[in-house]
Chain A
């Protein structure tokens, strides 16, 4: 579904990604772990071209996104949902409007269709009573669940999660991870950058270890966590587990 070839990204003299090659298949749940500054988030943001790669290609549904026109990119992003560490809900809009803004303004749904879908999604995540509240009235965990629902409104083919629980109070991490697990079970293709090793082990179908702008090691979670090969991964796991 997404094919990444020789992906490089530099900011000035700073090389963040030094050549990433990987393929993300449909229904896969790829979890990316690694120390801060290893390029995990940059890699994720290159997948939907929020960062323009310096070199290499990202092929999504047969189209090279690094060569796509701006117009095509926006079309592609409708199909790639993204969830951010800091939620980025729209503070001036109610929860309902946060969900319906993009599909109605892009004329993908009528207002009624969008309202109906928003209602269903809010019910699914257990926040239908918040439909007419504003984001500032919600807890962090609720905000992140709303942000996930907002992405789901577009019926994405793949969801990108950029440290979705890192900004949350510990007691709110669980509710967000549960929702993500539910999505995984429903067959959503997911790419998740996280520090939640439990989630990686339980939900991931493949775990990538990134360090210094490269994928150092990848494996299915059982093997990844019990038999790490590279010394750097061993060291990393000994620190976080």
Chain B
């Protein structure tokens, strides 16, 4: 009994020591805090950039499908979609940093935002396009019959309906993007994952920092997912109303 207590106490002590070494000593937890900050900044701005690109590309593609115009832009959009969706995001990141910006000194966070934004844009574009295509052709005709031209019909009639339909899918894309930014460390960007890895490399202790990193991602993703579910429920309600 006493021995067991002794053993568990020493285990406790050892564990506490490890916790202390991993997170407290030398303010090592700041690697995680700063990393999280970087991850969130990259995700947020990449999402915004992705939305802008996605909506533009989707508009080009849908306009081409519906009216046959914008042929050249549509070809460009298709190439963009094929290349971005056909290659790993990590390779895209490396190419943008080491090839495109090879000779320029540039803020890595900016490179991260650019790479993940351009990548996300391709997926957002297909989500938005599916949203536009899901709207009854009659809505376009109703707009046209009232004298609203294609851009106006798109802006005031189609997009608001499409946006509502695809909101959950867009929110999910944000969640995916948050997790995908974890490869940012490959261009030595100190994001959350890299922060945990730095702690591991200085303490030679892998378990605690990596589990901590995983937990932080998990908490954010679970939190965001529950928000998405709430959003979906509210959208359904307004459909019935």
Q: Does B100 contact A (CB under 8 A)?
A: no
CA distance A17 to B31 in the complex (A): 73
With A92-B164, A101-B156, A105-B152 as contacts: A77 and B141 at CB distance below 8 Å: no
Are B146 and A77 interface neighbours, CB within 8 A? Answer: yes
Which residues of chain A come closer than 8 Å to B160, judged between CB atoms?
92
Most buried by B among A71, A89, A102, A106: A102
Most buried by B among A48, A75, A81, A91: A91
CA distance A144 to B103 in the complex (A): 64
Are A78 and B146 interface neighbours, CB within 8 A? Answer: yes
A-B contact count (CB 8 A): 65
CA distance A234 to B61 in the complex (A): 50
Are B241 and A82 interface neighbours, CB within 8 A? Answer: no
Q: Does A50 contact B (CB under 8 A)?
A: yes
The 10 closest A-B pairs by CB, nearest first: A78-B147, A88-B142, A82-B145, A102-B146, A88-B138, A77-B147, A74-B149, A92-B160, A74-B147, A92-B161
Complex interface bits, A68-103 against B, C-beta within 8 A gives 1, otherwise 0:
001100110110111010101111100000000110
Q: Does A22 contact B (CB under 8 A)?
A: no
Are B149 and A48 interface neighbours, CB within 8 A? Answer: no
CA distance A101 to B239 in the complex (A): 21
CA distance A1 to B144 in the complex (A): 21
Complex interface bits, B163-181 against A, C-beta within 8 A gives 1, otherwise 0:
0100000000000000000
With A90-B139, A136-B239 as contacts: A81 and B145 at CB distance below 8 Å: yes
- How many B residues have CB within 8 A of the partner chain? 21
A-B contact pairs, 14 of them (CB 8 A): A74-B144, A77-B144, A77-B147, A78-B146, A78-B147, A82-B145, A86-B138, A88-B138, A88-B141, A101-B146, A102-B146, A137-B241, A150-B146, A151-B145
Q: Does A154 contact B (CB under 8 A)?
A: yes
| Chain B positions near chain A (C-beta within 8 angstroms) | 136, 138-139, 141-149, 152, 156-157, 160-161, 164, 239-241
Interface size class of A (residues with CB under 8 A): 20 to 34
CA distance A53 to B143 in the complex (A): 20
Which residues of chain A come closer than 8 Å to B145, judged between CB atoms?
48, 50, 77, 80-82, 84, 151
Are A70 and B149 interface neighbours, CB within 8 A? Answer: yes
Q: Which residue of B lies closest to A80 (CB)?
A: B145
Are B148 and A105 interface neighbours, CB within 8 A? Answer: yes
CA distance A115 to B156 in the complex (A): 18
Least distance between A119 CB and chain B CB atoms (Å):
19
Are A106 and B148 interface neighbours, CB within 8 A? Answer: yes
Are B142 and A154 interface neighbours, CB within 8 A? Answer: no
CA distance A86 to B231 in the complex (A): 29
Which residues of chain A come closer than 8 Å to B146, judged between CB atoms?
77-78, 101-102, 150-151, 154
